[in-house]
Structure 1
Amino acid sequence: MKNIEIFEKQYDFLNKEQKQAVDKIYGQIMVVAGPGTGKTQIIGLRTANIILKAQVNPENILITTFTDAGVIAIRKRLLKFLGNDSYKVSVSTIHSFSQDVIKTFPEKFIEYKAGTAIDSVDALEILKNILDKLIDEKKVEELTSDFDKYYYLRTIESKISTLKNEGTNPESLQIAINKQKTDYEEELANIKPTLKKYETTKTKQEKHIKKLEELKIIFTEYKKHLNEKSLYDFNDMINFVLEKFKQDIELREYYAEKYQFIMIDEFQDTNNAQNQIMDLILSVSKENPNIMVVGDDDQSIYRFQGANIENMLSFSSKYPETSIVVLEHNYRSNQNILDLATNLISNNNERLSNKISTINKKLVSSGYYKNKNNDVLFFRATTEKDEQIFIVNKIKELIKSGEQQNEIAIIVRSNKEVETWSKLLLQNGIEVESKQKTDILKSNYVKFILDLLDIIENPNENETKFINIFRNSIIGLNNVDIFKINRELYKQNYSRKYKKKFIDYLNEIEIKKDEIKELLNLEKLDEILNFKNKIIEYKAKIAELGLKEFIGFLIKDINILDYIEKNGDFDDLQDVYTLFNKIKEFIENNKYLDIEKLLNKILLFEYYNLSIPRQILKENKSGVQILTAHSSKGLEYNTVFIPGLYNGNWDGKRVRDLLKLPIYISGNGLQSEDFEQIEEDRRLFFVAATRARQNLFLSYPSSSGTKILLQSVFLEEINDSYKDFEQSITEEDFKEIIKNDIEDNLIKSSDLEIEYIKDFIENYKLSASDLNTFIEDPILFLNKVIYKYPFEDKQATIFGKVYHKTLELFYLRYKKEGKIPEKSYLTEEFERHLKTELLKHEEFEKLLEKGIKGLEGYYELYSENMKTPLELEYNFRRKNIFFENIPITGVIDKIEKSGEGIVSNTENSEGFGQFSLFKESVNLIDYKTGKTKSIGQIKGLDRFGNKKQGPGEGNYFRQLLFYKLLCEADNETNGKYNISGLMLDFVEGKEGNYKIVQVDYTTEEFEDFKEQLKQVWSQISDIDFWKALLKK
């Protein structure tokens, strides 16, 4: 069939509005194309019409669209209508168009061609250095913070990116700031100076202008740095072309002559810089330019990338002769789905239909599903687990009924949810295809490779990382042997000032291998020592092969690909492949890259919360599709699930703009952030819902853990458009889904490890800190307490330890001599003990200054009325103390008289134990460095008095109750002392606040604590608990 015949046949299928768009060849036309209205077909047929009927050469047509996927879709459609001529039509994204301009005229872009591309990490590092310089020079004061010097760094980078997207340079930014300043002055002139509002408005305005002026200074410095170093970032390519088009009339004339017809797809997603390029080409024409834009304001969901629906609103103003065609006929979805979507989006104010009275955007079902009006169903789940069970069961039911898996999609709000649902479906035997660009830095295998590189480069730097590599099942060593070696090292290091490192201890063992092997009863010591030597040899191998070749060698040498084939999946292989390619890319951009620089580069990705997306080598198009709403644009499925419809997920997310650009920068009007965000969120939900052809399931969990969730406001807006769906969740459903909910872990356990744990528990005594560790995370308890991971003192830990020791020695001297030592004794002792710690010079100086300041303040506050302590660092470790059947131990910082003296009566006082004959009433005191806490914070309570959940909540309170229990269970202290009070002494004076807090408690709180203690011990002492935990 000839092209003209194919065209005419397809043309006959068009509706009235579609034909209007295709027939309008000359002049300006804006096509408002809602979801499923056939915009790609219109672009394809209009292109064919221009070529076949207007006798225009294909080379004279330019079509731009937003994504590479859009380019492919249009190219396929053109091929159908035009055959080989379709390849002569220029179809591209604006980025690839800009690249083509630079390649065609390299002599006009010499600076660009000679430059080096930088990524987001490089840009942030450059901006960080610029900030350092400008803060030192006092040129930046508002765009920084006393608490975090780089608090605004990501905002600055984002705003510079927005400015570049809008085609704004520092000079035009200054013009916009001046206009903004004038507007503010006029606003202020309308407020009476005597009103309080005048001062608050004036201060707010001045602060905003100062921030904008500082941004301009930073932007100027950033551009200057890039120019001097011949660097450019992602946004610069378009701006290079834009600037050249502004300056070079010949360049504009060339492209105006070449592209006599321009079509812009997804017009609502374009930014100002992209539009300026097209406008400059069109400006050459003295007659009416030939341009068609196609878009849908209701599907504008890329505001964060500079997309701006103002483009559509202003197009007809820019070109007054514009013909507007609205496509209302939807060929994708049934009417119930379209009614829901229309009812939802009608709540938005920023819509073309509210600005142009002739536009009606009510979608009408007109295709295959016109008469297949399945109801939109809504499931209100009690918990997140209920919601998961409902969706998993419903998908299984659909597949059983004959639905193709790739015709089912779960569309979610965030990448994290894609991960959760992908894992859940896979665990329940359902194939998936995840559209998420998964961050490879979260992959266990990638982490393993990077950690291995780290210990090759720095074997003494991170002990926990070092031991985890040795324990990793990829390496395949005997874990119990490692624990035995580690336990012996722990014993040797316990009383040492300078801690011996694990690798150094292995080197010692190698010298007297047979003796140690027998002493520690080690089974496979040779394998451990061989791997240790391999790590040392790898360092030399890097010098021999170079970094790029070494990475390939390492991946082969540790057989990680074979391990993944047996134990992982194809995604894991893709992650390792992506890492290898990313490292090659880093090396190509920096030939001097070594392991240290490579690891620092990766650390910066994590520091700035940037991802390295997985490269997809092979798509699984047969699985259930799981994707974010942003990724779903342009796609369609027979059945769509939209879960998690609660406030704070689909709507109500506070996205605070720390630095609002002037209103004179396109798309930066002064509407409230909340207003803008809710409209963007609503458009996103609109896009997600209109992906469904026949079945749409909405769901919302009423709770997540202990947190109550409120349903999304969107559900209220469309409550007439769906029907509630009831489904009971059975106990069997729960068992099945929980059984499958097991996380992958590269550190595997064995029966020998279980025996090791059993032997340890038999001789173990529980302390307050260990109790808190277990409550926070049993795995942390396992590594820290049972496996005895090596000493790794952080600065805060070192500071607290030395501060405690100084106070102990100070009070010991006071007790011994009967008089308060001089203030200098405190500061000298602190410095002396701090010198014994392994610290860098700058770390030592920082902690010394902090410690001296804190101790001097403490002395000045308390030296006039210090009490002589009865006990200091009272240690229960050598005693065999039991609470019921639980062995307990610990060290109390200080015991001192409470002021009540010796009591001879016996009475019950709630919260203060039993007063007995001839016992000294005492306070148990625990020192705390750091910020002072309130009683609520100490007890882990919210402002309503309810217990808070989460790591560290109530730790201090549990610790004090534990010490009370210790004293009462110990015959010696119980015989001498009556516990009158429990106190926390906040000794550092952080933010100038020293405070001794008496922590009262009720009998009920003490009993609850004892019950919690018994529950924890029942788990610690239960070997089946550890077996189950290690399986995960």
Structure 2
Amino acid sequence: LALARLNSVFREVKKLVVVHPEAKLVDFVKYLNTLEEHRVAVKEGNAGYIPNAVRLMTAHGAKGLEFDYVFLVNVYDGHWGNRRIPQLIKILAKTSAKLEDIPELKTDDERRLFYVAVTRARKLAFISYALQGSDGREQSPSQFILEIKPELKQVGPAEQFEKMFAGKREVLYQPRIIPGWSVFEKDFLRELFFKRGLSATGLNNWLSCPWKYFYLNLLRVPRVKNKYQIYGTAIHAALKEFFDASKNGPVEKGFLEEYFVAALEGEPLLPKDYAAVLAKGKFALSKYFANYEGSWRTNTQNEFRINSVYLPLRSQALDERPIKLTGVLDKIEYLDGGETVNVVDYKTGKAKTRNELEGKTKNATGDYPRQLAFYKLLLDNYPTFTAEMISGEIDFVEPDSNGKFQREKFIITATETTALQEQIFDLAEQVLEFKFWDKRCDDKDCEFCALRNKVG
């Protein structure tokens, strides 16, 4: 709950900074005071899975969600179906319309909403109504209950449930108790792991520091984007738009720069930072265009998003659910014939040598080739993708100190993808069994290990 509220506050901060890039903490406090003065609530984000709890929500709010058991209450005639409403409603000055002519109020719409509510249940849906309302009037079941096929429902009196609850009134009517669970509970982490899935960035963060993965990829604690991250995101967006447009014919250099400028719009940058990022990006993209003009492939897919590829766990005894893998591939280049592809990943910042990329130097991590291997694993297991990824390429978008650009291509072997799967399995087992609790990385100044140490 605290994390959900933190995310909600963070969203409000971002809203303010987008409108007022130079806003400071005192401005945000004034903003909150204004909201409080006018009784404007800050919408709380979804807390996700909470152990030993139920979720109360409207039928509209339940769309897209699923639960083992669903309880629908107050399903009586007049509340669900046959809603008693005034015959007329004034619209503007002298115009009126019958409410039954408004599509949102038709019975068919309520029936569809009822269907949505009932089908949120994977196993059982419990539908109930009171025989008498709070005003003492008799109530009849909704027509939607009667419309359910007999073989799909079991009807019975509520006496058995009333007797069951009669001896538990002190529990039912006690004051609300805020549960004392924490984000470190195993059940919470297991559910979160299967919900979030795993990306190449998440795996690389895990190998760097388990607690970096925990806070950034599993919990997703909100963090402010710095100007370098904003710059990188805008470069990626510009290249995506440029190569999409290039499918229809040659595109001039000016368009690439325009896409970059458009991508920077609305980003929370101070004027001096905006000017520096803008100049840097225009320079890099201008040189990039001049260097590669006429040599790039136009049969591409850009920002190819894979939301779910499933990999069975090494041990089904650990959990029957598979690991969900996700990723966004910057560019897929279809090679001659279209049966094979090269996957390109853009990088901003200082170019690395081949040895650095392969992890053969002192402080190298091998993150980039591992990322390409992860993309091959995704594409090899993506049902609707029929082409074969035969290579991956790291494309440094900025020139080096000599004005030269660097690209490094890798052939990903079956041995590498097999080793990658073992790393994924190891991560999954340690997270699901909570084995990483006492682990720390080798960096003595690691902010994530320091944050973990504060927990005790």
TM-score (norm 1): 0.26
Residue 577 of structure 1 aligns with which residue? none
Letter in 1 for 2:189: I
CA distance in 2, matches of 1:518, 1:978: 39
Structure 2 residue 351 is matched with structure 1 residue 956: no
Residue 984 of structure 1 aligns with which residue? 394
Residue 1010 of structure 1 aligns with which residue? 421
Letter in 1 for 2:294: E
Q: What are the within-5 Å matches in structure 2 for residues 790-869 of structure 1? A: 790-815=222-247, 818-869=248-299
Please state how far the C-alpha of 1:844 moved relative to its aligned partner: 1.6
Q: Output one character per residue of 1:457-479: Cα deviation in whole Å (capped at 9) or x when no partner.
A: xxxxxxxxxxxxxxxxxxxxxxx
Q: What are the within-5 Å matches in structure 2 for residues 197-216 of structure 1? A: none
Please state how far the C-alpha of 1:790 moved relative to its aligned partner: 2.1
Residue 378 of structure 1 aligns with which residue? none
SS at match of 1:838: coil
Q: What are the within-5 Å matches in structure 2 for residues 273-312 of structure 1? A: none
Please state how far the C-alpha of 1:488 moved relative to its aligned partner: 4.5
More helix by share: 1
- Which of residues 288, 305, 310 is equivalent to 1:881? 310
Letter in 1 for 2:354: I
SS at match of 2:419: helix
Structure 2 residue 456 is matched with structure 1 residue 936: no
Q: What are the within-5 Å matches in structure 2 for residues 240-251 of structure 1? A: none
Q: Output one character per residue of 1:192-214: Cα deviation in whole Å (capped at 9) or x when no partner.
A: xxxxxxxxxxxxxxxxxxxxxxx
Structure 2 residue 6 is matched with structure 1 residue 486: yes
Letter in 1 for 2:203: L
Closer, same or farther: CA 982–487 of 1 in aligned 2, 3 Å: same
Are the counterparts in 1 of residues 306 and 326 from structure 2 also a CA contact under 8 Å? Answer: yes
Residue 328 of structure 2 aligns with which residue? 891
Residue 212 of structure 2 aligns with which residue? 780
Are the counterparts in 2 of residues 898 and 980 from structure 1 also a CA contact under 8 Å? Answer: no
Are the counterparts in 2 of residues 869 and 896 from structure 1 also a CA contact under 8 Å? Answer: yes
CA distance in 2, matches of 1:787, 1:798: 22
Closer, same or farther: CA 860–786 of 1 in aligned 2, 3 Å: same
SS at match of 1:1004: helix
CA distance in 1, matches of 2:271, 2:46: 42
Letter in 2 for 1:842: K
Letter in 1 for 2:267: E
Are the counterparts in 1 of residues 8 and 45 from structure 2 also a CA contact under 8 Å? Answer: no
SS at match of 1:890: strand
SS at match of 1:849: helix
CA distance in 2, matches of 1:518, 1:997: 42
SS at match of 2:436: helix
Closer, same or farther: CA 490–814 of 1 in aligned 2, 3 Å: farther
CA distance in 2, matches of 1:1001, 1:518: 39
Q: Output one character per residue of 1:309-335: Cα deviation in whole Å (capped at 9) or x when no partner.
A: xxxxxxxxxxxxxxxxxxxxxxxxxxx
Letter in 2 for 1:832: A
Are the counterparts in 2 of residues 770 and 785 from structure 1 also a CA contact under 8 Å? Answer: yes
CA distance in 1, matches of 2:427, 2:266: 37
SS at match of 1:931: coil
Please state how far the C-alpha of 1:492 moved relative to its aligned partner: 8.3
Q: Output one character per residue of 1:882-930: Cα deviation in whole Å (capped at 9) or x when no partner.
A: 365321001000001234x25xxxxxxxxxxxxxxxxx11101111112
Closer, same or farther: CA 832–517 of 1 in aligned 2, 3 Å: closer
Q: Output one character per residue of 1:80-126: Cα deviation in whole Å (capped at 9) or x when no partner.
A: xxxxxxxxxxxxxxxxxxxxxxxxxxxxxxxxxxxxxxxxxxxxxxx
Are the counterparts in 1 of residues 373 and 416 from structure 2 also a CA contact under 8 Å? Answer: no
SS at match of 2:299: coil
CA distance in 1, matches of 2:49, 2:218: 18
Please state how far the C-alpha of 1:940 moved relative to its aligned partner: 1.0
Are the counterparts in 1 of residues 7 and 45 from structure 2 also a CA contact under 8 Å? Answer: no
CA distance in 1, matches of 2:48, 2:380: 38
Are the counterparts in 2 of residues 869 and 894 from structure 1 also a CA contact under 8 Å? Answer: no
Q: What are the within-5 Å matches in structure 2 for residues 243-282 of structure 1? A: none
Structure 2 residue 324 is matched with structure 1 residue 923: no
Letter in 2 for 1:780: K
- Which of residues 293, 300, 314 is equivalent to 1:870? 300
Please state how far the C-alpha of 1:793 moved relative to its aligned partner: 1.4
CA distance in 2, matches of 1:495, 1:960: 35
Residue 998 of structure 1 aligns with which residue? 409
State, as a whole percentage, how many aligned pairs show the same letter.
Answer: 26
SS at match of 1:873: strand
Are the counterparts in 1 of residues 4 and 47 from structure 2 also a CA contact under 8 Å? Answer: no
Structure 2 residue 382 is matched with structure 1 residue 970: yes
Letter in 1 for 2:311: F
Closer, same or farther: CA 886–515 of 1 in aligned 2, 3 Å: closer
Are the counterparts in 1 of residues 194 and 324 from structure 2 also a CA contact under 8 Å? Answer: no
Closer, same or farther: CA 1024–496 of 1 in aligned 2, 3 Å: farther
Count, aligned residues? 296
Are the counterparts in 2 of residues 754 and 1026 from structure 1 also a CA contact under 8 Å? Answer: no
Bigger-Rg structure (1/2): 1
Q: What are the within-5 Å matches in structure 2 for residues 13-92 of structure 1? A: none
Please state how far the C-alpha of 1:495 moved relative to its aligned partner: 11
Please state how far the C-alpha of 1:493 moved relative to its aligned partner: 9.0
Residue 53 of structure 2 aligns with which residue? none
Closer, same or farther: CA 1027–509 of 1 in aligned 2, 3 Å: farther
CA distance in 2, matches of 1:846, 1:891: 28
SS at match of 1:889: strand
Please state how far the C-alpha of 1:514 moved relative to its aligned partner: 11
Cα RMSD of the aligned pairs, angstroms, is: 3.7
Q: Output one character per residue of 1:656-688: Cα deviation in whole Å (capped at 9) or x when no partner.
A: xxxxxxxxxxxxxxxxxxxxxxxxxxxxxxxxx
Q: Which segments of 5 or more consecutive residues in structure 2 lack a partner in the other structure?
A: 51-179, 314-321, 441-451
Letter in 1 for 2:419: D
Q: Output one character per residue of 1:399-431: Cα deviation in whole Å (capped at 9) or x when no partner.
A: xxxxxxxxxxxxxxxxxxxxxxxxxxxxxxxxx
Please state how far the C-alpha of 1:1010 moved relative to its aligned partner: 2.1
Q: What are the within-5 Å matches in structure 2 for residues 510-525 of structure 1? A: 511=39, 516=44
Letter in 1 for 2:239: L
CA distance in 1, matches of 2:309, 2:2: 30
Please state how far the C-alpha of 1:519 moved relative to its aligned partner: 8.5
Q: Output one character per residue of 1:787-817: Cα deviation in whole Å (capped at 9) or x when no partner.
A: 32224111211111101100001111112xx
TM-score (norm 2): 0.57
CA distance in 1, matches of 2:272, 2:408: 33
Letter in 2 for 1:999: F
SS at match of 2:211: helix
Q: Which segments of 5 or more consecutive residues in structure 1 lack a partner in the other structure?
A: 1-480, 523-749, 903-919, 943-947
Closer, same or farther: CA 936–795 of 1 in aligned 2, 3 Å: same
Are the counterparts in 1 of residues 4 and 44 from structure 2 also a CA contact under 8 Å? Answer: no
Q: Which moved more, 1:1018-1027 or 1:866-875?
A: 1018-1027
Please state how far the C-alpha of 1:765 moved relative to its aligned partner: 0.7
Please state how far the C-alpha of 1:758 moved relative to its aligned partner: 3.9
Closer, same or farther: CA 494–1019 of 1 in aligned 2, 3 Å: farther
Closer, same or farther: CA 1007–759 of 1 in aligned 2, 3 Å: closer
SS at match of 2:274: helix
Residue 184 of structure 2 aligns with which residue? 754
Closer, same or farther: CA 771–488 of 1 in aligned 2, 3 Å: farther
Letter in 2 for 1:882: L
Letter in 2 for 1:921: T
Are the counterparts in 1 of residues 343 and 391 from structure 2 also a CA contact under 8 Å? Answer: yes
Are the counterparts in 2 of residues 509 and 516 from structure 1 also a CA contact under 8 Å? Answer: no
